[in-house]
Amino acid sequence: MEINFTLNGKRVSISTEPTRRLLDILRDDLGLTGTKEGCGEGECGSCAVLLDGRLVNSCMVPAFAMEDKEVLTIEGFREHQRFKAISKGFEKAGSVQCGFCTPGFVMAAEALLRQNPHPTEREISEAIEGNLCRCTGYNMIVEGILTASREGDGLW
Ligand code: FES
Ligand code: FES
């Protein structure tokens, strides 16, 4: 089937199987490999992207649900000022350890800060509940998001 959607601000049209995963479309068909595959079952958040501004696991989104939707991946988000604020916050707090889970955490941070520019630690912890870090780095990730919210004040 043919699917038309907006990807990182540009209209795209692809022909694919209706049940093909958005994750595979991004990585294999469109070469956007910043979105990572971890569990492939909706449990780890490493494949997280924003779909119409909402955080979703792209391994759980079928192509047929994509018509006319708006997708933001880490590649598109990199162009925003807000990405710089989040990456600076992560850098200051030492949030990035493996790099593999990081794009998902960055997208989760953006989804949260869009809704709530000044979250509490608890709200941040809840917002990243769906993102798995295998190296027990959660405190530093929470701190990184807090720093981004403080120092990027006015961007969200
Ligand atoms: S790869 Fe999608 S949630 Fe883990
Ligand atoms: S920093 Fe990536 S799994 Fe912990």
pLDDT digits (tens, 9 = 90+) for 93-150: 999 888 889 999 999 999 999 999 999 999 999 999 999 998 867 999 999 999 999 9
* CA of 133 relative to ligand 2 center, distance in Å: 4
pTM above 0.85, yes or no: yes
**Of the options 3.40.1180.10, 3.40.718.10, 1.10.150.120, 3.40.1360.10, the CATH number for the domain spanning 81-151:** 1.10.150.120
Round to the nearest angstrom and report the end-to-end CA distance of the chain: 37
State which of 134, 138, 139, 142 you would mutate to test the pocket of ligand 2, scoring each by most atoms of that ligand within 8 A of its C-beta.
134
2-77 CATH choice from 3.10.20.30, 2.30.30.40, 1.10.287.3510, 3.30.450.40: 3.10.20.30
pLDDT digits 0-9 by tens, 1-59: 999 999 999 999 999 999 999 999 999 999 999 999 999 999 999 999 999 999 999 99
